Amino acid sequence: MSKYYYPAIFQSCEEGGYAIKVPDIKGCVSQGDNLEEAMWMASEAIGCMLEGVEEGKYPKPSDINDIDNSKYENSFVTLVEFDKEAYDRSCNPIKTAREKVKMSIKELSNFLGAPYRTVQDWNNGRRMPPEWIQKLIVEKIEGAY
């Protein structure tokens, strides 16, 4: 399953925008200047908080009707979609492209002529090349297969 739906509390802020809390994920908070941005930021916050958690071990989303927002003035509760595949693509395009063509880390290392450890670090998100180089690598991977 790639898409998850978590209830979130959106609270209007006096200075404008929204503060967001996702009660099912400890410490998952964010904010946005408008509702569209707040929804996107909530989804990104969920992704950041679930980074490194095995997909089968994600917290179970509560029923939206069980979320109590009464202690938050000017607030409402809605579901926020978290699309794991889209999040992974945006965070690690090299890994996504490599997996799409079913290439191992070793094969990618040989294909690029890059050290295995470097490619392994990219794959695990420990470090990444600059964005423009990431785009070139992805283009090269996709162009080869």
pLDDT of residue 26: 95
Q: How far apart are CA 136 and CA 109, in angstroms?
A: 15
CATH classification code of 92-144: 1.10.260
| Topology given in CATH for the domain delimited by 3-84 | Double Stranded RNA Binding Domain (3.30.160)
Interaxial angle between packed helices 93-100 and 116-124, expressed in degrees from 0 to 180 and rounded to the nearest 10 = 100
Q: Which two tokens stand for residue 67?
A: 């979320």
Full-model pTM: 0.67
Q: Which of 132, 94, 131 is nearest to 112 (CA)?
A: 94
Domains 3-84 and 92-144 equal at CATH topology level = no
Q: What is the DSSP string of 83-105?
A: EHHHHHHHH-HHHHHHHHTT--H
pLDDT of residue 1: 61
pLDDT of residue 127: 86
With beta carbons less than 8 A apart as the criterion, state whether 145 and 111 touch. Answer: no
Q: What is the pLDDT along the chain (145 residues), one digit of tens a residue?
A: 689 999 999 999 999 999 999 999 999 999 999 999 999 999 999 998 998 788 889 999 999 999 999 999 999 999 999 998 888 767 788 988 898 899 999 999 999 999 999 999 888 777 889 989 999 999 999 987 7
Taking the alpha carbons at both ends of the chain, their separation in whole angstroms is 26
In the chain, domain spans: 3-84, 92-144
